[in-house]
Structure 1
Amino acid sequence: MSFQSSAEVHYQIDLTQGTQQLARVSASFPETPAGQLTLNIPSWRTGKYTIMPVAEGIRRVSITDEQGQPLSWDRSASGEWVVNLPKATKVKVSYQLHADELGVRLRHIDDSHAFLDASGVFVYSPSYRDDSVRVQLQVPKGWQSHSGMDSGDTPHSFVAPNYDVLIDSPIETGVSQSYQWKLDGRDYELVIWGEGNYNAEQMVEDLKKLSPTATAIWDDYPYKRYVYMVHATSGARGATEHLNSTIIQRPRFRFGSREDYLAFISTASHEFIHTWNVKAYRPEALVPYDYQNEAISDLLWISEGSTSYFQRQLLLRGDIISFDEFSKDLARRIDAHLNTPGRQVQSVAEASRGQWIRRHDHFAHNHSVNIYSEGYLASLLLDFDMLKTSNLKRSYRDLHRVLYRDYSTPKSFNRNDVLKILSELQGRDYSNWWQAHIESPMQPDFFELMALAGLSLNYPRGTKDVVSADLTLKAGDRAVVDKVDREGVAWKAGLTHGDEIVAINGLKVAGGDWSKRLQDFKAGDQLTLSYFRRDRLQETQIILSSKKDKPLTLTMMDKPSKQQKAFFKAWLGLSWEEAIASNKKVFW
């Protein structure tokens, strides 16, 4: 609760000495009663479910009263300071900020720009979290400042109704390109920092096509203004959704090919969808955001996986991609799922609960799934079930339409709410379905599933069986084991992560030779592998297996039935004939 409802917090940041990636930040808090005032810097940022060392970038902290006299304070946690107030006074906090976290999209300052996510820049007090804020930037001459927030009454300033809006409205300031347009009464902007092989006009054209497709899912828009911020980088990549904007990062020369551009525009669609799913409506563990602690939820797969599921559907509806491009992405996801041993161990609900400590190593490969890819397929499975059992009258889009309509913040939703919506939409209890596919590792028959929509999931013509040891090596000249497939032939032979294979049947092998050497054998052959473990030479016997040399593909059937065509259209929103026509179109 705020100490006074009319309070306003003022922030200032001096960005004029960016060469060393340093800034000076000050925050002025309204008159506060005698006692203590708690100040925090968040321990994580929205969109990245990981505790981060955010406070490590803060140095030279000074806290004074309204006369400029020092106040005593103690640091009570990594991101928390408690200020002692002998009498009522306004409080000013000042500190040096180091900002070089570009790749995690937290804060980055240099001599050409600054990207500021408030969770990594501005301290807050829980006592004034709900009160209005004003941000003033001091920037080098020639810089332009952009944000999804409203502009203030002075250049390079922004205002927000509270800290939650500030923290979800990043600022991009510097030397950049900017494009503005208006569509259906809403304002849009594309801001690009950095040189690269992008085509800004093409980006604007497709972003204009993307916006109207949202009505396929939701009844209205949760914003009046939306800003796409794009960084063309020297290697950093990734993206983060925000309340009224997104930040998308790609290496500067990864925009030019069709494949690279599809990755960019798919990311833009993903973050755009997040404006509804996870910003407008969120699982109850995320409402309100607890910026200092983990927020464990079993529904993060809906927040992230469902967003991934819809992202290329909207691009398809907007005539931005072809059906072939859509189907290749779907086939790739199914193929990756079938080649991930962890799918047999972890459910998508448990992956959601464990997202805050998710690993990205050999253990995760064998014992885990991730909320994005597995959540995509769980969404697909639920969508097809809803379509099939409602005779194509309702779909997964209807579930999200209701979540937005009835559960938008400050409300939230939980598992029981989702089951209630499904029951009301479908007229049946989904508890058993949920237990079988969400709370348990899902094992759908994707070949049968795709046939419902007239699609064939098969290996392409000319696919061959090639020999395999069911392991992958780390990149490099040495044959060091990275991942061993659980219950595969290498696993059964006793090999594990970190082993360095040095010989096959007594003859030396290196990392670059491994695949070629295996092709000298066939599935079923027994080999002797020599390897180092803890610097001791050891041997094991392995019986080789086989794998396909090409991934699965998804193609349209030659003679689909009327029912399959109807299912296809109810699912994707375009007819069979329109899909065929899209495959013949040259997009650019």
Structure 2
Amino acid sequence: MKKSIFFELSFSEPQAHYVDVRMSISGFQEKEYIDIKMPVWAPGSYLIREYAKNVEKIKFSSPARAVTAEKIAKNTWRIYNPSEHIEVSYAVYGFEVSVRTSFIDASRAFLSPVGTFMYIDGYLDLETSVHIDLFPSWNKISTGLQKTSETNTFYAPNFDILFDSPIEIGTQDTWTFDVDGILHECAMVGEADYDKERLTEDITTIVREENKIWGSNPNYYYLIITHNYQNSNGGLEHLNSTVLSTSRFNYAQPTAYKNYLSLVAHEYFHLWHVKRLRPKALGPFNYDAENYTTGLWIIEGFTSYYDNLIIRRCGIFDEYEYLQKLAVDFNTVYNRPGYLLQSAAASSFDTWIKQYRPDENSHNVAISYYNKGAMHAVAMDIKIIAASQGTKCLDDVMRAAYEHFYLIENRGFEEDEFQALAERVTGVDLSDIFTAAHHAEEVDYNQYFHLVGYEIIDKAEEQNYLTLGIKVGSNEGHTVIKNVDRDSAAWISGLNVGDELIAINNHRIEINGKAIEYVLAHASAGDTVNILISRDGLIKEIPVKLIASDKKSYSIQRREIATDEERRLGNIWLSIKDYLVHDKKYNHLIIR
């Protein structure tokens, strides 16, 4: 008998945040036993999330005979002497707001497939189908899974596709539009004041710009699910869909709306870069454990560089807005003392224990491969543009890598292979950038920016202000230290995370920090201030010797002394085709 697996989803208690799952298994009767498993992580979000913790009421049955089964590991159940047909039923609790986890209530259900469906160990390549019984007040299903001829039934050729296809069920607002022959669907979840016509136009522009970069689009259908909350921001990529979260108020605010479009550009870029062009470690997946790679700085970092650049190329960001966005990556990295300790490659490898599990000391020991990878990407792009006199750029590398590793060889790449291809395609030695990605030593990024007539400047150097080097928060009305910067005045003097701040030089400290600001404004580097704290219920006075802040405030701007050739290359980099005049009042360029 042919091996098969079929799922049926229903909702007997959505208000209590449960989905009911029935898994029908056939054709495994010759086995001594089979192990059914639930993934422990979601591809694209590199953290062991232990989805099996949400499984309840699991039962095993067969029309032929009693089923003997037991749980043998945290996410594994073993069925002994399986009969021709076996049914596994279980309930999954889902009430976590994120793009990676399931959320179910009386109004809707968002199902993260890795936390909903189980698989049979060793049989990820089996095809499967899913039937969904709609809750009475629901009327729509949005998913990248292939529809079948049966109502509310969907098909997946294997479990990798199933696990990569989130499902939104409820009353979401949906509409479709065509972009270059590809059907796109938007599914808007939750109340928000968005303009469908404007969204369609802007997303179409983004898609066309990205299609130009890659040369082709592998999908015939693409789904964009957006969860609209009061305050939220995030996204997770999939083969032919993405799930975004944003604030319902963003569509009416120009800057916030552009940031949402940048998020769309980021996740859409991933349909090529990550989902298809990828490091070897990221597919086929091991759903049981961590999948380690040092290459996230390439796949996520480069995507973080391209998202805002694409919005610039689309004309949504002007030059000044784009340079501000790019400067954020530099400020984010350089204002974390951990940049002196962790490289982009090390950040990639340690993502499983650091990126998604930050604590009070994370900023002192780690950086994000998103930001640092973007910094390496802009250096690479500029170096290629300059060395080729503007005839090539990073686009050429991405397109060639996609064609070679995915379309031709259909495999993941090693970093040295990616570097070799990039150098072969461009004729440019890129070893300085790939070496820098594996070392924490500082890079002079102006050696790249100057090539295209720009410069990065730390404007904080002119301010030379004092700081304790702490971040504070409120805990039951008390002002409490949340972070202490490495090598800051607070770090050296011994102020600790968790200390309640009571007074500074006999001035009461409130959560607004006015007393601290006042004392520091009237002090000099080398002065000592006395800070009264409560630590574990005991009152202490800590003398703190003040030092100047080492915080950065980078901006990126055109160089006054740039040559005509450098300016020409800069215009190519930022897709500036008009005549530009420098506006000294705002220190940026305006189009005339």
1:133 has 2:131 as partner: no
Q: How far did 1:75 drift? A: 1.0
Q: How far did 1:440 drift? A: 0.4
CA distance in 2, matches of 1:9, 1:550: 56
TM-score by length of 2: 0.91
Q: Which residues in structure 2 correspond to 1:356-375 (within 5 Å)?
A: 356-358=352-354, 359-375=357-373
Residue identity matched to 1:165: I
Aligned to 2:341: 345
Aligned to 1:419: 419
Contact kept? 2:460, 2:553, Cα under 8 Å: no
Residue identity matched to 2:382: F
User: Per the alignment, do residues 523 and 392 of structure 1 end up closer, same or farther by CA in structure 2, a change over 3 Å counting?
Assistant: farther
CA distance in 1, matches of 2:344, 2:302: 12
1:543 has 2:523 as partner: no
Structure 1, 406-415 or 552-561: larger mean CA deviation: 552-561
Structure 1, 354-363 or 505-514: larger mean CA deviation: 505-514
**Which of 31, 53, 57 does residue 56 from structure 1 map onto?**
53
SS of equivalent to 1:554:
strand
Q: How far did 1:55 drift? A: 0.8
Q: How far did 1:459 drift? A: 5.9
Q: How far did 1:518 drift? A: 3.2
User: Per the alignment, do residues 305 and 462 of structure 1 end up closer, same or farther by CA in structure 2, a change over 3 Å counting?
Assistant: closer
Residue identity matched to 1:491: W
Aligned to 1:473: 472
SS of equivalent to 2:276:
coil
Residue identity matched to 1:566: R
Aligned to 1:266: 262
Q: How far did 1:465 drift? A: 4.3
Contact kept? 2:338, 2:364, Cα under 8 Å: yes
Aligned to 1:380: 378
Q: How far did 1:547 drift? A: 4.5
Say what the alpha-carbon RMSD is for the aligned residues: 2.7
Runs of 4+ in 1 over 4 A off after TM superposition: 426-433, 459-465, 547-550, 557-560, 578-585
Structure 1, 230-239 or 244-253: larger mean CA deviation: 230-239
CA distance in 2, matches of 1:540, 1:59: 51
CA distance in 2, matches of 1:143, 1:584: 50
CA distance in 2, matches of 1:531, 1:431: 50
Aligned to 1:171: 167
Aligned to 2:531: 529
Residue identity matched to 1:203: L
Q: How far did 1:576 drift? A: 5.8
SS of equivalent to 1:511:
coil
Contact kept? 1:15, 1:109, Cα under 8 Å: no
Q: How far did 1:517 drift? A: 2.8
Q: Which residues in structure 2 correspond to 1:118-157 (within 5 Å)?
A: 118-141=113-136, 142-157=138-153
1:106 has 2:101 as partner: yes
Q: Which residues in structure 2 correspond to 1:422-441 (within 5 Å)?
A: 422-427=422-427, 430-431=430-431, 433-435=433-435, 437-441=436-440
Q: Deviations over 1:505-564 (max 9, x none)?
A: 244323323443334423323212222333333333323234499943333345742222
Contact kept? 1:43, 1:293, Cα under 8 Å: yes
Q: Deviations over 1:432-461 (max 9, x none)?
A: 6533x0110142223453333223434679
Q: How far did 1:374 drift? A: 1.3
TM-score by length of 1: 0.91
Aligned to 1:232: 228
Residue identity matched to 2:528: Q
Aligned length: 578
SS of equivalent to 1:285:
coil
CA distance in 2, matches of 1:494, 1:465: 23
Contact kept? 1:467, 1:521, Cα under 8 Å: no
CA distance in 2, matches of 1:416, 1:529: 52
Q: Which runs of 5+ in 1 are unaligned?
A: none
Aligned to 2:442: 443
Contact kept? 2:311, 2:317, Cα under 8 Å: yes
CA distance in 2, matches of 1:18, 1:379: 45
CA distance in 2, matches of 1:78, 1:583: 58
CA distance in 2, matches of 1:200, 1:543: 57
Q: Which residues in structure 2 correspond to 1:557-576 (within 5 Å)?
A: 557=559, 560-575=562-577
User: Per the alignment, do residues 242 and 58 of structure 1 end up closer, same or farther by CA in structure 2, a change over 3 Å counting?
Assistant: same
Residue identity matched to 2:444: D
Aligned to 1:401: 399
SS of equivalent to 2:45:
coil
User: Per the alignment, do residues 7 and 357 of structure 1 end up closer, same or farther by CA in structure 2, a change over 3 Å counting?
Assistant: same
Residue identity matched to 2:25: F
1:243 has 2:243 as partner: no
